[in-house]
Amino acid sequence: MGKNTKKVRVRFAPSPTGSIHVGNLRTALFAWLFAKNNCGDFLVRLEDTDRKRLEEDSTQKIFRALDWVDLIIDEGVYLNRQGELSQKGKVGPYIQSERLDIYKQYAQQLLQTGKAYYCFCSEERLKTIHERQQLKKTPVMYDRHCRNLSKEEVFNKIKAGEKYVIRMKIPDNEIVVFEDQVFGKVSVKTDILDDQVLIKTDGFPTYHFAVVVDDHLMKISHIFRGEDWIPSTPKHILLYKFFHWEIPIFVHLPNVLGEDKKKLSKRAGAVSVEDFKAKGYLPEALINFLALLGWNSKTEQEIFSREELIEKFDLTGLNKAGAIFNYQKLNWFNKEYLRKLKKEKFKEKVLEFLPIAIKEKVEKNSEKLEKILPLIKERIEKFEDVTKMTTVGELDYYFDQPNYLKEKLLWKNENNLIKTKKYLEKIIELLKQVKVWTGIEIKNELWNYATEQGRGSVLWPMRYALSGKDKSPDPFILAEILGQGETLQRLYYAVKKIEEN
């Protein structure tokens, strides 16, 4: 196979049978990066010929996901500003169900040149053949029953209204060889290849036929897809040869694996891209993480801008081994990108993930939210964590007086509430003297007294009185956020609680 001389043109061709999962997105990303690195074109084609598995709204989900991660489409199908499906480019249509006449034309060409044939076998007959082959433990393949029907027999069957498919005529005793950019040289004997169906009984093409016709007509130079398609590639190459077309360069990508080292897939319940969005991951973090999932930049660098990824991406960095999808690593990436978010954008995302009840309280006290944001940023890895914080009450105490048992004000093994009450009263006295209400000034005012009496004994009841939680920020930060008036009010409440019988 000679070197491909076409301009770099790659395609991402999702099927609207569900959402895009991360394995699909990584394939699209690698193709996109390669195209951008080589001043090429990134096309998106919608492969909707599997009519039985089409899912309503799947198309919208696919293109919303591509928009979210900002993979700019040069040509093909895209969502316009109104959120409607549109197409752009000179070699469309880019939706396979709109190209049926094209596939029929090329199928007829193969029939005329003796490279394909009509098959009238019923589903029942095919099922019986396959069951016998399974019992004999021989390859499950079509037995070529209709391969040598005469023209007259074919004409009469079609005239009689018999249903048929069109199959490709796999040549005997040949070896198909191709050079994959990741897995190297692959050789396959045609004897193990099935006479693949090209056109189904409903007139729609199979994937194997449509993909070859479309990739040729759309001038695709490099085909990026999962390694699962390697066994099918010899059939595709034969079709290219039947038509005397230039064969594109194949880049089969190793599978993305779960932590159990099994392949992630839509059918196996792999997390979709929209699920990552819903959990509050940032698209920049997900892209950075996926770019390094099976590709080696040959540097120690881990955080890459989009421009840096484009500049460094090449095929020699692709690994043969499957890449494990590590959530812990993804969370690390996401936290790194969270830290870089500008304050207003971070605030906007926090508000988006707050439950309605607390969101209303927050919006009434935006000044307090501004003080809480740095604490939230340190605590979370993704914005879903903000929702979890509110679920366990980790934000409520900033806006509502906490309710608790007075015994919880005691430090560790202490049991003297009268002593604790005295500590709280002294804290109130000292805090009234603070002129500039900041965490540092509050700490300066209390630190000597807390050190003399025992820091835990003094500061624990203060902290618990302010938060009502076993775990919370230190009492100086809490007091600064709450403000002087509310801090004193909560400490008075704690003293009263101890005085109750």
Q: pLDDT tens-digit profile of 99-122? A: 999 999 999 999 999 999 999 999
Length of the chain: 501
The CATH class of the 406-499 domain is mainly alpha
Contact between 222 and 287 (Cβ < 8 Å): no
DSSP classification of residue 202:
T
Of the two residues 253 and 395, the one the predictor is more confident about is 253
The single residue of 266, 419, 426, 443 carrying the catalytic annotation is 266
- pLDDT at residue 271 tops 50: yes
Q: Could you tell me where the DSSP H helices lie in 365-474? A: 366-379, 384-391, 417-431, 439-453, 455-467
Burial class (CB in 10 A: 0-12, 13-18, 19+), 354: buried
Q: What is the 3-state secondary structure (H, E, C) of 77-106?
A: EEECCCCCEEEECCCCCCEHHHCHHHHHHH
Q: What is the pLDDT of residue 1?
A: 39
For 123-128, what is the mean pLDDT? 94
pLDDT tens digits for 396-453?
A: 899 889 999 999 999 998 889 999 999 999 999 999 999 999 999 999 999 999 999 9
d(CA 479, CA 423): 16
The tens digit of pLDDT for each residue in 313-328 reads 999 999 999 989 999 9
What is the domain partition of the chain in residue ranges? 341-398, 406-499
* Distance in angstroms between the alpha carbons of the first and the last residue of the chain: 91
Could you read off the pLDDT of 374-388 as tens digits, one per residue? 999 999 999 999 999
Give the rounded distance of the alpha carbon of 404 from its chain centre: 42
144 torsion bin: left (phi>0), alpha (psi -120 to 50), beta (else): left
* Residue 147 structure tokens: 């391969």
Q: Per-residue confidence at 55, pLDDT binned at 50, 70, 90? A: confident
pLDDT in tens, 139-167: 899 999 999 999 999 999 999 999 999 99
Nearest to residue 330, comparing CAs of 401, 393, 256?
256
**pLDDT at 287 > cutoff 90:** yes
Is the per-residue pLDDT at 266 higher than 70?
no
Q: pLDDT at position 5, please? A: 57
> Could you read off the pLDDT of 455-500 as tens digits, one per residue?
999 999 999 999 999 988 999 999 999 999 999 999 999 999 999 8
- Strand-pairing partners, residue 186, are 178
Kindly report the backbone phi and psi dihedral angles of residue 500, in degrees, each rounded to the nearest multiple of 5, phi listed first: -65, 145
| Mean pLDDT for the chain overall | 93
Q: Is the peptide bond before 473 cis (omega within 30 degrees of 0)?
A: no
Residue 362: what pLDDT? 81
Neighbouring CB atoms inside 10 A of 262's CB total: 11
**Among this protein's residues, is 52 annotated catalytic?**
no
In this predicted structure, what is the pLDDT of residue 3?
A: 47
State the average pLDDT over residues 26-30. Answer: 97
